[in-house]
Amino acid sequence: MSGIYIHIPFCRQACNYCNFHFATSLLKKEAMLAALNKEILMVAAENNWRVNTIYLGGGTPSLLEAEEVWTMLNTIRSVHQVDGGAEITLEANPDDLTEDKLRGWREAGINRLSIGVQSFFEEDLHWMNRAHNAVQAKEGLKLALQYFDNITMDLIYGTPGLTHEKWQRNVETALALQIPHLSCYALTVEPRTPLDKLIRMHQKDDINPDIQSEQFLLLMGWLRAAGYEHYEISNFAKPGFRSRHNSSYWQGKPYVGIGPSAHSFNGAERRWNVANNQRYIDAIDKDTLPVEKELLTPVQQMNEAIMISLRTIEGVDLNRFSEEGAQQVLKAARRYIDRGLVINEPGRLRLTDEGKLYADGIAADLFFDVQATV
């Protein structure tokens, strides 16, 4: 077993770009936490795993008190073998960070924080409808660094109004604080989000893909010069600070998801829980796992491997395919190799910096068809 993901489906307020599952009311928090702990026990009855990463995501897990986090981690330890050096991450918003919470989370077993900063500019945070302000962003990080060495923070680029100069200042602020891991995402307008509606109603400006591409290229140059490893499309780490949990996803390792909307994967089968808090709680109360399942064919498994591995610094390992399959992938990649978007190394294909701008499209063109020999 590689990792356990726990989805905490509550937020203080809704960011207008977010399409993750959450509720802004905490009225059902106690019942939800009871259901999460019960699902941990129910799923463990199927298998007893050796766990080397645990990730509390959401939603906003930093809404939880230290005792609630301790109870959840202790439930996991009661039914699984958790490695002594396991990476245990909690996602946090800057406005939730206090000395008491940070100290309590650390004592509960959290050893890595993922802090959703997004920007250090007040106008950008307001545009995104974030719950924190620019002062809380900086002060929260400074406080967190007093309790945790292993910290990652999120930044968003390509938002209307974010000039290249402001983008550089965001990155430079993170570097000055010596944050060892950065996750940087281009703003995406997801269907049926408040942002999507506001753009369609002409109440907010739409994104500019050309500016997003320029800011991504600038980002890669700045962080490379600062000594960060660009180990996945959106992730940059100082040596020794890669996300072990997320890396397991990109390497196709098995994991289990706990909570409403959470996904699990065992190498061949994908499972996901219902994305509805009350229906999730009701099902768990009745000793039923509220899951749907999808069995992946060998071709689907290989196509997924291409999609996720092409996003990483290691690239696509052609040795995992049959000789015929490897030749087919190479043939499909030829036009991108010729254009300087893909590097052809012995037994491996990797994206260049410019190729990373087209990662999803290139991956799709490398996919096997249903009748392929993989």
Domain boundary among 250, 268, 293: 250
- Asked if residue 46 has pLDDT above 80, the reply is no
- CB neighbours of residue 227 within 10 Å: 10
Q: Which residue has the tokens 């069995």?
A: 295
Do residues 51 and 134 both lie within one domain? yes
Q: Are residues 246 and 305 in the same domain?
A: no
Give the rounded percent of residues in the chain with a pLDDT score beyond 70: 98
Sorted by sequence, the CB contacts under 8 Å of residue 324 that are 6+ apart come out as 373
What is the predicted pLDDT for the residue at 151?
98
Structure tokens at 91: 């996602």
The phi and psi torsions of 47 (rounded to 5 degrees) equal: -155, 150
Q: Is residue 285 part of a domain?
A: no
Question: Looking at the domain assignment, is residue 320 inside a domain?
Answer: yes
Do 305 and 234 share a structural domain? no
- Same domain? For 177 and 58 the reply is yes
45 pLDDT tier (thresholds 50, 70, 90)? confident
CATH of residue 186's domain is 3.20.20.70
Is 270 within a domain?
no
Residues in Cβ contact with 141 at an 8 Å cutoff, skipping those fewer than 6 apart: 94, 115, 117, 151, 153, 177, 179
How many angstroms separate the CA atoms of 47 and 128, rounded?
41
Q: What is the CATH number of the domain that holds 348?
A: 1.10.10
Q: Are residues 242 and 309 in the same domain?
A: no
Burial class from Cβ neighbours inside 10 Å (0-12, 13-18, 19+) for residue 142 reads exposed
Q: What is the pLDDT of residue 2?
A: 80
Q: Is residue 277 part of a domain?
A: no
pTM of the model: 0.95
Q: How confident is the model at residue 49 (pLDDT cuts 50, 70, 90)?
A: confident
Averaged pLDDT, 299-316: 95
Sole residue written with tokens 């701008």: 357
Residue 1, pLDDT above cutoff 80: no
Residues 280-298 have pLDDT tens digits of: 999 999 999 999 999 999 9
The answer as to whether 280 is a domain residue is: no
Same domain as 217, residue 360 = no
What is the pLDDT confidence band of residue 75, given thresholds at 50, 70 and 90?
Answer: very high
Tell me, yes or no, whether 233 and 337 share the same domain: no
Residues 244 and 314 occupy one common structural domain: no
d(CA 132, CA 167): 19
| Pair (312, 236) in one structural domain | no
Residues 197 and 337 reside in one and the same domain: no
Angle at the Cα of 331 from the Cα atoms of 326 and 334, rounded to 5 degrees: 125
Where in the sequence is the domain holding 145, given as residue range(s)? 3-250
Within a domain: 289: no
Query: What angle is formed at CA 18 by the lines to CA 13 and CA 23, rounded to 5 degrees?
Result: 45
Structural domain count of the chain: 2
Query: DSSP letter string over 235-246?
Result: EEE-TT---HHH
- Specify if 262 maps to a domain: no
Q: 272 in a domain, yes or no?
A: no
pLDDT of residue 369: 86
Among candidate residues 250, 268, 285, the one where a domain is terminated: 250
The whole-angstrom separation of Cα 110 and Cα 86 is 10
Are 246 and 338 in a shared domain? no
Spell out where the chain has E strands: 3-8, 50-58, 81-92, 112-118, 151-157, 181-186, 229-232, 235-237, 255-258, 263-265, 269-273, 291-295, 316-317, 342-345, 348-351
Does 309 lie in the same domain as 245?
Answer: no
**Boundary-marking domain end, from 211, 231, 250:** 250
